[in-house]
Amino acid sequence: MWIKPEDLTVSQVQILNEAGDLVGEAPNLTSAQLIDMYRYMVIARAYDERVVRLQRQGRVGTYAPFSGQEAAQVGSAFALEKSDWVFPSYREVPALWVHGIPLENSLLYTMGHVHGARLPEGVNAFPVQIIIAGQTTQAMGSALASHYLGDKLVSLCYLGDGATSQGDFHESLNFASVWKLPAIYLIQNNQWAISMPRTRQSGSQTLAQKGLAYGIPGIQVDGNDVLAVYQVTQEAVARARAGEGPSIIEAVTFRMGPHTTSDDPTRYRSAQELEDWKQKDPIVRFKRYLLNEKLWDDGKEAALLQEAAEQIEQVVKAAEGKPKGTLEESFDYVYESLTPRLREQKAAVAKKEVR
């Protein structure tokens, strides 16, 4: 009998509706953890808005905004242990921050500083990946190492809807499935791959089902519901640690800003679509929940916004005050030891003999 796409039924996981009301069972998180989640989301949004302004002022390079995707990133990162591995693309500032990479590092990277991609000692994360879907095979390789070593570490790979059309993604899924590797592929379906809408990106009913052909279970979650994202990621982490293999999570969310600061979304996206998704803002939704639970109030909100402004101002001052790196310094950063040819190139750079 034919296996028909229309026979597949998918239910989206949601715990908090758009009004911030519980429509599912809340995960087992303490009040302090819930507030910490919200704090990360609010400060991340303030950071994102500030960096966009810095780019418009010519103080940083091209930047990929993430506003609207805070719940998908913070919720998933909270489900990991610090010893687990994170493989980002170019929009995962909140997730990397939760996992231990300072905001200053992310800003230095955007400024083109030679040390911008240098990760703090002990933080298990790979540098930002610009090549679309390139991080999927890296995450698979990391998961293979964990499988070989038996260290029970999980590799979480972040990717966008557009990356699911790349060959690397499918090759990675095939290998991860065959070897039952502890890998999680978290697809942030933000509705647009630059100017390409989701409807033209893939003919699949969902992106969560992409793994079925490879024997990988998938789940679709409301990506603007931080509690739901946390819960499904926690379940995927548990599967991976138990040796049950990889998982795919499709977090349905929305990119409120441009693809990057060199993009103009008004040329391909309607104002009404943006307004509709603003009603689903993950930060507003979570704030309503915290207010309903008597965990938050106007005074705490004002204090948090002040903290965000001060912290980001400190980050900007620290990054802009850091001495610029040199081109020859990059040789020592990229290579553990230099070959004779590389030493010649470094010397030529130092003498400014290259153009």
Q: For residue range 224-233, what is the model confidence (pLDDT) as tens digits?
A: 999 999 999 9
Is 268 among the catalytic positions?
yes
Q: How confident is the model at residue 194 (pLDDT cuts 50, 70, 90)?
A: very high
Is 255 among the catalytic positions?
yes
Q: How confident is the model at residue 3 (pLDDT cuts 50, 70, 90)?
A: confident
Give the C-alpha separation, 135 to 119, whole Å: 16
CA distances from 338 to 20, 127, 196, 255 (A): 56, 21, 43, 42
Contact yes or no for 73/65 (Cβ under 8 A)? no
Q: What percent of the chain has pLDDT over 90?
A: 88
Candidates 113, 239, 259, 285; catalytic one: 259
pTM higher than 0.75: yes
In sequence order, the β-bridge partners of residue 155 are: 85, 183
Candidates 45, 147, 239, 255; catalytic one: 255
Flag whether pLDDT at 1 surpasses 90.
Answer: no
Residue 146 amino acid letter: S
Give the C-alpha separation, 225 to 85, whole Å: 23
Q: What is the pLDDT of residues 244-296, one digit of tens each?
A: 999 999 999 999 999 999 999 999 999 999 999 999 999 999 999 999 999 99
pLDDT of residue 136: 98
Q: What percent of the chain has pLDDT over 70?
A: 99
Sheet holding 218-222, edge to edge: 85-87, 155-160, 183-189, 247-252, 218-222
Candidates 268, 333, 335, 343; catalytic one: 268
pLDDT of residue 353: 61
**Burial (Cβ within 10 Å: 0-12, 13-18, ≥19) of residue 186:** buried
Q: How confident is the model at residue 336 (pLDDT cuts 50, 70, 90)?
A: confident
E strands of the chain, at which residues? 85-87, 155-160, 183-189, 192-193, 196-197, 218-222, 247-252
Characterize 311-320 residue by residue with b for buried, 16 or more Cβ atoms within 10 angstroms of its Cβ, and e for exposed. Answer: ebeebbeebe
Which residue segments constitute the domains of the chain, with CATH numbers given? 9-324 (3.40.50.970), 325-355 (no CATH)
Flag whether pLDDT at 325 surpasses 90.
Answer: no
Q: What is the mean pLDDT of residues 82-87?
A: 98
> Of 108, 110, 97, nearest to 322 (Cα)?
108
Which element (helix H / strand E) includes 256? none
> Of 138, 188, 135, nearest to 161 (Cα)?
188
Is 259 among the catalytic positions?
yes
What is the β-pairing status of strands 85-87 and 192-193?
Answer: unpaired
Mean pLDDT of all residues belonging to the chain: 95
